[in-house]
Amino acid sequence: MAINTKEFFNRDLSWLRFNHRVLQEASDIRNPLYERLKFLAIFSSNLDEFFKVRVSDIRKIKELDKPLRKKLITKPNKLLSKIKSQVNKQQEEFGAIFFNEILPELAKHNIHLLKIEDLDSQQISFIIAYYESIKHQFKIIKNEDFKTLENEVLYLVGSSTKGDLIGLKIIEDISRFVEIPNKKGENNFIFIDDVLRFALKENFESEFYALKISRDAGLYIDSEYSGDLLEKIKNALPNRETGQVTRALIDQLMPNDLISKLEKTLDINETDLVKGGRYHNFKDLFAFPEVENDVLYFKNLPPIKNERFTNKSSVFEVIEQKDQLLSFPYESFNDVITLLETAATDKTVTKIKITLYRVATDSSVSKAILKAIKNGKEVFVFIETKARFDEQNNIKWGKLLQDNGANVKYSYAGIKVHSKIFYIEKIENDTLKSYAYIGSGNFNEKTSKIYTDFGLMTANPKITSEIAQVFQVLEGNLIIPKTKHLLVSPFTTRSTFTKLVENEIENSKSGKEAYIVLKLNSLQDDKMIQLLYKANNAGVKIRLLVRGICCLVPGIKNQSEHIFVTSIVDRFLEHSRVYIFANGGQEKLYFGSADWMTRNLDYRIEVITPILDATIFQQIKNQLEIQLNDNAKARIIDHLQTNTYINTTIKASESSQHIIYRSLL
């Protein structure tokens, strides 16, 4: 059946609407100024990855033979045109926010980002001297060298007196923002770009314009199903820096003759060009020089210390007594590390098994596993080497763990292991005891401070025995896990969710209360969306909280008029996935690592757990209820994806994230 826009939003255009919600946070005057700068940096970083990954994929469709391409739903040229149009509008909005809103507000706090024309003679002398002190670190690029421009690196481009292309790479070792002599009480900075433009114009008698290219970030290996997949990934990583150009972001004032030379040299066309402002690489705003002024930053929300885990030696006893729920970043991820470190040193612990998808560069989780190996524990680690942009770091930790004696397994062909689980066995008084952890977020101390996630620690044998089965699959000792409680992709997740939705449909037809509440990062799978439409037409009430991609179109008669969708973008990245079904009065609640995307349901190993503990069941429901009622940071996802705040009249409302934090104190 052909898909029309009434039934589904396009995935990539929907993602761009999510990034627009990030841009809205940069414009939101309720956020402190330096936090608004960070939202601009997040927007810019997100967009870079979008062009490296998604636009690259769309361009690959263009390379298919025409007869095959005609059979596809996606029309690549039309979609790329829509993407470019939306990106151009967002870039204009970005510039207006930065130059017309944020910089004037910073000036009120005596923080100035100056231009060359703003400088007095003393400051001009300073930047000339500064350039002389750093110019030896720069190399002028000419002609053919442009074909090897680096991915996501900022360049300045001009013309020589002979009309040849010349350029200069703005190296990352030098701060993007140069502090210049200040008047008392002022903080004055200037873009390094402007310092270099000033000097280059003197040297080459040419204006210089900003350029940044994005390259295809795909790892195109010949086959995942033959040979050594790990070695193939290692060998393919360098190719990421030389992939096809998918975007050339240029200064909109760049003259046409210079643009033509770039197009010819880089082998790109007008479709690949995105015209931006004078400055690019705004992800560098993450490093905008800080000043001492508390009003410029979010109020600190230190992770809440769990008194349950203060005595490390009793952590297993605490879990045996009752399942334990952790809510990140409101509560500390250190409790997870404490459990692993305790297991590493506990003489009764015999086995530790864990999946690693994205770990920190300096990973305390991995260090705890190393300690366990040195203490003679039997350790199994599954390393997912296809976690995009984390491949190198994951391979590094995998080798270190393997070299120290862990049984390490790497990526499977055709499938990613995206679950966030570990399993511990101990023998105490000749009795085997097992413990498990299931999370919605990665074992990463850094992201645990900014991503909202749930983590469940349990000694319930209904769960631990099934986690053990999942690890048997990962170790290659079992083909299909036989789970009655856990949902495990790609084996039972889709079929179980389908049955749960169909059960709501039947209950609604029978006159029973029927509802579905889902919190997801992304909703894309067309079969699940069609099933939700079917539930809508049966009278099932459906409430969705979707942070990012939402291909479901709400509010359409005879399709989705009973479906209400909101999205929250706030200081923390909403990352947990929660699924609730009325179930005829015997409500069911699950959480886990899987979105309702085809890849999560069919092409990844995911683990989703039911909540069997009544207290934890209510804790998760309470948090979700707070978020469903958010009237500060929630936007309505309507049939036009306009990103309208759910309540535009309440400007001083407290966000759901702050309310949840207070509730856990």
> What's the maximum distance between 2 C-alpha atoms anywhere in the chain?
85
Find out whether the peptide bond into 32 is cis, omega within 30 degrees of 0. no
The whole-angstrom separation of Cα 518 and Cα 524 is: 13
Q: Cα 578 to the chain's mean position, in Å? A: 18
How large is the angle between the packed helices 121-134 and 192-204, nearest 10 degrees? 80
562 classed as catalytic: no
Contact 590, 611 (CB under 8 A): yes
Helices (H) and strands (E) in the chain, counts: 20, 27
The whole-angstrom separation of Cα 86 and Cα 105 is: 27
Contact 330, 441 (CB under 8 A): no
- Residue 299 is classified by DSSP as P
Catalytic-role residue among 112, 280, 418, 575: 418
15, two tokens: 């993602």
Instruction: Report the candidate in 661, 663, 618 with the shortest Cα–Cα distance to residue 323.
Output: 618
The whole-angstrom separation of Cα 191 and Cα 114 is: 8
Those residues whose C-beta lies under 8 Å from the C-beta of residue 420, and which sit 6 or more positions away, are: 355, 357, 438, 439, 440, 441, 442, 443, 593, 607
The whole-angstrom separation of Cα 525 and Cα 518 is: 14
The whole-angstrom separation of Cα 525 and Cα 534 is: 14
Contact 193, 138 (CB under 8 A): no
In 10 A of CB 202, how many CB atoms? Answer: 10
Beta-strand pair 577-581/515-520: antiparallel
Q: How many residues does the chain have?
A: 665
377, two tokens: 């524990």
In 10 A of CB 197, how many CB atoms? Answer: 21
Beta-strand pair 604-610/588-592: antiparallel
Q: Is 652 helix (H, G, I), strand (E, B) or coil?
A: coil
Give CA torsion, residues 256, 260, 263, 266, to 10 deg: -110
102, two tokens: 């944020």
The whole-angstrom separation of Cα 286 and Cα 450 is: 14
Contact 577, 418 (CB under 8 A): no
The whole-angstrom separation of Cα 443 and Cα 453 is: 11
The whole-angstrom separation of Cα 518 and Cα 579 is: 5
Which amino acid, 86? Q
Positions annotated as catalytic residues are: 418
